[in-house]
Structure 1
Amino acid sequence: MKLSHFGFELPEELLAEYPSENRDESRLMVLNRKEQTIEHKMFKDIIDYFDEEDVMILNDTKVFPARLFGNKEKTGARIEVFLLRELNEEQRLWDVLVDPARKIRIGNKLYFGEDESLVAEVIDNTTSRGRTLRFLYDGSYEEFRKKLHELGETPLPKYIKRDVEPQDEERYQTIFAKTEGAVAAPTAGLHFSKHLLKRLEIKGVDFAEVTLHVGLGTFNPVEVEDLSKHKMDSEEVFIGPETVERINRALKERKRICAVGTTAMRAVESAVSSSATLNEINGWTNKFIFPPYEFSIANCMITNFHTPKSTLLMMASAFGGYDFVKKAYEEAVKEKYNFYSYGDAMLII
């Protein structure tokens, strides 16, 4: 398929600036692939679609406060620094994006915090906006990480034009987040409340955790018409033995296995064995899923409503069927569903 197949008109007012008041009270569109039906529900109604020993795959990655603001030496120019990836713990080297980039060259120093207690030196250019920084800080590694948390803010997506508010620190994080390393939330998981998880647990639904640290590459625009030529950025992924055992048992027993989000789906599809079961993995994935694609593990998927021509929309279309998902998106625009990170959800069964 081509990039142009995934374009559609998305009214700007449908891009959600704020989350729903309660996590599990966002809207839910249910797509039944077999019946080719579309239902309109509330997210908490999702419990009606699952039975005992069905499995939900949750991405337990935790977003860290990746956006910092510093001042350039001498000029004092305000520079945004977006932490992407720690390269070396001992040397405190980080892959970052800087904005505005034209002002930041190798050898420049940036100062952070009112007391300027954290300093970073630019030691390499990686891309037009990418830089490698060496952080200079008098203190242990634990104190350095604590300082990053103090100075950093929740990395809301760029489409959200408002300032970060106190509620964002909690709401732009799933309630099952525990393994820090993501610079963006696995947003399908944001709809789960503690109450809903408990109700699912009482019903006998099983939970299997994977870790895929979401990077900004997930949201990079596709710039080639031929999708086979698009390269995804690598993201760190971990699936342990307990999750493998749980999911493979459900596969054998033909239970419903639901990937909560595109990141959970990418994680399991990156660890498929030659016999179409799940393997353990501790490494990196740059898997790009677009139609046509044969899925091996999950037979059900929860996902948000994505922006035009995004890799996330392509994966949802591969799973739900291109024509069916296209029809559902037309319905979502017509019915004024909220899109993107803080938006509403879709369940594909």
Structure 2
Amino acid sequence: MPQHVHGVISRAKDAPVELTTIVVPDPGPGEAVVKIQACGVCQTDHHYVAGGVGDDFPYLLGHEAAGVVEAVGPGVTEVAPGDYVVLNWRAVCGQCRACAKGKPWYCFNTHNATQKMTLLDGTELSPALGIGAFAEKTLVAAGQCTKVDPAVPPQVAGLVGCGVMAGIGAAINTGEVTRGESVAVIGCGGVGDAAIAGAALAGATTVIAVDVEDRKLEWAKKFGATHTINSRETDPVARIRELTGGFGADLVIDAAGLAQTYRQAFEARDLAGRVVLVGVPAPGTEITLPLDEVFGRGGSLKSAWYGDCLPSRDFPMLVDLYLQGRLNLDDFVSETVGLGDVEEAFAKMLRGDVLRSVVVLADA
């Protein structure tokens, strides 16, 4: 029968978030109910609050989560009750033209649960990124559940489900970093620091962190940055070229998503170098680039969609790297908070006081 649990919702644009009771239905065909143990507070959740994603209020917030499968619906074979999972927001269909080409990480028909979670009065909720994990339990498509080793603590496992995967994937999957290359990352929040960690994992020997805050640059060193640039004080393009023999970086990752930072990334790459955009631009952001330079520099300009990841392949890999001591996930967690602390966590995030706040459920 349907369950009543606590969850954090956004009722209207820019309104304070609210901890309230939500109704989670029994899982139908292809669905699963997951008991949430931890969920990261991500910038994307605040985009929903600010109306930057749409106006399908009320939203059930939270998406960067780990937990345990409680129940599954008919026909589910991917997971079973008791499985420890990280939730993903790209449950691949296996049938669209991207999947048919053998590139399921580009799946154009990803899916979510068919049924809706609701408020007590029957108002339907829109779960953030099809997940809605600032809640004691949530309903998702079974394909959104990725089994991982239960030895990894939920407060770090959940981060693999969004920000960490987006950043590491931008470096390794989209940017295709190889041994001995130089990489510059502009914007050193959670996604940018994950991109730095990914570049270091892949064997980059020069990893340059660029940000406007010294505190964030210090954080970046923990994840593998070999050099830092405060772009308020130093021209980042000139300095990146100086650090790379005058040529520019093999790969520049824009984790800020601003017109200014993208232009810097474009100008700071070497001939035949790559630019990867992983920071999410504000709607309507425009940029003008000299077409002769686009041609003359060669290389590639790419966007990273969720780090071009395949959750079933990449999530367990990142968890294994963490358990082997090769991937620093612990330092992404600045603090752990409760469900009732999400509004304050958003404020800290917007001020840049934290790398990641993580909501940990009381009985996790």
TM bin, normalised by shorter chain, reads under 0.3
Q: TM-score, normalised by structure 2?
A: 0.25
Q: TM-score, normalised by structure 1?
A: 0.26
Q: Which has the higher contact order (CA 8 A, sep 6+)?
A: 1
